[in-house]
A and B are shown apart, each in its own frame.
Chain A
Amino acid sequence: MTEITVNVNGKSYTREIEPRMLLVHFIRDVLGLTGTNIGCETSVCGACTILMDGQAVKSCTQLAVQADGSDVTTIEGLASNGDLHPVQEGFWEKHGLQCGYCTPGMIMSGVDLLKNNPNPTEDEIRHGIEGNLCRCTGYHNIVKAIQYAAEKMQGGN
């Protein structure tokens, strides 16, 4: 067993874990934050996407020990004081989800995308979310949702 300390959504957690525990299992099973989904488990689908030290990564392809000392943000950490993050709001306003399974990962990718490129073209958004699969194939509205967030975050609306 190894002791790790991870800051998740602004709160510090110290836990004893097995080194082979995956980060997504740490987030879901140890911390009880079940907003992050598990899809393919093989770093293909992106359902488990989180931000680690500000960068979007697939938490099924990280060991929890690798997050020791890191800042992790999950879907639960995006809203502040009851206000949805602009990307969350975009998914709400533009119907960016159907079954909702890919949504937490898709939103985390959208947040990372807009951080690096605040005013993306439609093409850049489509390439930016290439690591996230939507089984309902609702990409059209997902793109619109991210466009909505980009405008909102730049002071539009």
Chain B
Amino acid sequence: MIPGEFDYYSPTTLDEALSLLQEHGDDAKILAGGQSLIPAMRYRLAVPEVLIDINNLTELEYVREDNGHLTIGAMTRESDLEESTLVKEKYHLLADTAEVIADPLVRNMATVGGNLAHSDPANDHPATMLAYNAKIIALGPAGTRVIPIDDFFTGLFENALEENEILTQIRLPRPGPNSGGAYIKVERKVGDYAISAIAVQLTMDGDTCTAARIGLTNLSPTPMRAKNAEQALIGQVITPDVLEAAGQAAAAECNPSADLRGSVDYKRDLTRVLTKRALTKAIERAKGA
């Protein structure tokens, strides 16, 4: 239960971190909050030869609004997201998510960028960022690259980042008027991965849903949107039947695997129920906004 040997670097500037990454390429791993990577190294599931610790890059710790976007520095701790008044007031889906990630001690270290760069479909931010239609900002030797979230996740623990790129920022469009969001997660106990969790961000025009994006947590090998469920909502006057149809669509299109947390049938049915609950909460917020 002790990590394998590695060379350790602790750069104090992004430029320095980037040049270390160029030098060591795929032998290197970036250490952000470490709350997934260090356990993985202890189990020897990850055995990097070089560890580039970016915890000194405090320039990557911020949450602010500019140009109609919420921008989150990659090294922002989950606890800072949780305590952000801006997030609590305007980004309900993100606020819901931040307070159910792991546990308070883990959230003191864990980072938003790390959660996404790890690209574990059981992590909570992938679904949230899919629902927000976020953009991932990556810095590489050629400069900055903007990756739409729909193109970011490419497989289990895999994403569109190049070996020589660092995820530096996450950008969310500010929800317009009559928009609302919600994240609902069921877990066996705090700190465990979700059995199922649903991220919803939608816009209403009276009782009609005009836009909706739904992200699913731990229900597929690659973080996914419930696109059929979205289509069941968009343009519809929201009734209990429409919510049920969306729930059933999400249950059908997700791709969970059976494990200690439950059978496939159980997870699908839970997904149906949670989708309806998350939609109901998001609609209430959209109407209250």
The verdict on B190 contacting chain A, using a C-beta distance below 8 Å, is yes
Residue-by-residue, is A95-131 near B (CB-CB < 8 Å gives 1, otherwise 0)?
Answer: 0000000000000010001000000000000011011
Overall SS of chain B's interface: loop
**Chain B min CB distance to A130 (Å):** 4
Q: Evaluate whether A20 and B109 lie within 8 angstroms (CB atoms) in the complex, with A63-B34, A127-B104, A131-B104 already known.
A: no
Known: A20-B41, A42-B42, A63-B8. 16 other contacts (CB 8 A): A19-B8, A42-B43, A43-B35, A49-B105, A55-B79, A56-B105, A57-B109, A61-B106, A62-B34, A63-B38, A68-B10, A130-B104, A131-B106, A131-B190, A131-B191, A132-B105
Q: Across the interface, do A65 and B8 meet the contact criterion of CB distance under 8 Å?
A: yes
The verdict on A78 contacting chain B, using a C-beta distance below 8 Å, is no
The verdict on A2 contacting chain B, using a C-beta distance below 8 Å, is yes
- Which residues of B in the span 100-126 have a Cβ within 8 Å of any Cβ on A? 102-106, 108-109
Q: Across the interface, do A66 and B53 meet the contact criterion of CB distance under 8 Å?
A: yes
The verdict on A44 contacting chain B, using a C-beta distance below 8 Å, is yes
Residue-by-residue, is A1-45 near B (CB-CB < 8 Å gives 1, otherwise 0)?
Answer: 010000000000000001111100100000000000000011110
Q: Across the interface, do B109 and A19 meet the contact criterion of CB distance under 8 Å?
A: no
- What residues of chain B lie closer than 8 Å to A42, measured between beta carbons? 39, 42-43
Report A's interface with B, CB cutoff 8 A: 2, 18-22, 25, 41-44, 46, 49, 55-58, 61-63, 65-66, 68, 109, 113, 127-128, 130-132
Q: Evaluate whether A18 and B105 lie within 8 angstroms (CB atoms) in the complex, with A42-B42, A62-B34, A130-B190 already known.
A: no
- What residues of chain B lie closer than 8 Å to A19, measured between beta carbons? 6-8, 51
- What residues of chain B lie closer than 8 Å to A25, measured between beta carbons? 2
- Docked CA distance A138–B1 (Å): 28
Partner of B10, one of A55, A65, A113, A130: A65
The 3 closest A-B pairs by CB, nearest first: A131-B103, A19-B8, A131-B105
The residue among B31, B38, B39, B53 with the most chain A CB atoms within 10 A of its own CB is: B38
**Chain A min CB distance to B7 (Å):** 7
A-B contact count (CB 8 A): 81
Q: Across the interface, do A20 and B191 meet the contact criterion of CB distance under 8 Å?
A: no
**Chain A min CB distance to B237 (Å):** 38
- What residues of chain A lie closer than 8 Å to B8, measured between beta carbons? 2, 19, 63, 65
Q: Evaluate whether A61 and B39 lie within 8 angstroms (CB atoms) in the complex, with A18-B5, A22-B2, A56-B105 already known.
A: yes
- Docked CA distance A57–B39 (Å): 14
**Chain B min CB distance to A29 (Å):** 11
- What residues of chain B lie closer than 8 Å to A57, measured between beta carbons? 105, 108-109
- Docked CA distance A98–B155 (Å): 46
- What residues of chain A lie closer than 8 Å to B43, measured between beta carbons? 42
- Docked CA distance A127–B108 (Å): 14
- Docked CA distance A41–B102 (Å): 15
| Interchain residue pairs with CB less than 8 A apart (6) | A18-B5, A20-B5, A56-B104, A56-B105, A57-B109, A131-B106
